[in-house]
Amino acid sequence: MYAIVEIAGQQFKVERGVKVYVHRLDANEGAKVEFDKVLLVDNGGKVQVGTPSIDGAKVAATVLSHLKGDKVIVFKKKRRKGYQKSNGHRQQLTQILVQGILGKGETLKDEIAVEKKAPKAKVEKVEAVSKEVKAFAPKKAAVKKAPAKKAAKKTEE
C-alpha cells in the first residue's frame, strides 16, 4: 500500500515505515503530524484518485529530526568581462517517519518505534585501544654500551 501525498508544497510517494526528507516543518522532534492532502492511494491494485484530494484520507507521521541538506554552489561567470559571482545555499529539511496511511474514519492501530540515538561510549573505546597499543608495543631492550676505543699512541721519530 502506498500513497501520493502533498507535504509543504511537494508531492511524495510514501509507504508505511519509510523515512522521507521534506522541507522544514513547524513541529518539534518526536511530534506526531498528519497530512490531509492525499492525492492518490493504491491498496494492492485498488487505486483511488482524488479530485484534487481524497476526502477523509490522511497520512500519519512522526518527526525524527531537523537538519540541513547538502550545500549547493551557484557560480555565475561572464567570460572576458571579469565578472564572477559565487553563492551557496543549504536547504533546511525535516526527516519524518511515515506511521501509516489512514482512510476515512480510521485510526492508527500500532506505531512504528522511533529509534533514539544513544550516546557513544568513548571512554570504553579509549581504554580498549590503549590496552591493544600496550600489548603490541615493542619492549625496551637493555642498551649495551659500545666498548671504548683505546687511543693508539703515535711515536715520533
Identify the domain containing residue 48 by its residue range. 2-136
pLDDT category, 135, cuts 50, 70, 90?
low
pTM score of the predicted model: 0.67
Spatial distance between the Cα atoms of 154 and 148, rounded to a whole number of angstroms:
18
pLDDT for residue 17: 92
Where is average pLDDT lowest: 9-13, 42-46, 86-90?
A: 42-46
Considering its fold, how many domains does the chain have in total?
Answer: 1
- In the Cβ-directed half-sphere of 68, how many Cα atoms lie within 13 Å? 6
* pLDDT over 90 (residue 92): yes
Sequence-ordered list of residues with C-beta below 8 angstroms from that of 25, at least 6 positions apart, any chain = 7, 8, 33, 63, 94, 96
Asked if the structure places residue 141 within a domain, the reply is no
* pLDDT over 90 (residue 19): yes
Asked if the structure places residue 30 within a domain, the reply is yes
pLDDT for residue 23: 96
Asked if the structure places residue 83 within a domain, the reply is yes
User: What cell numbers appear for 64 in the block?
Assistant: 525524527
Asked if the structure places residue 35 within a domain, the reply is yes
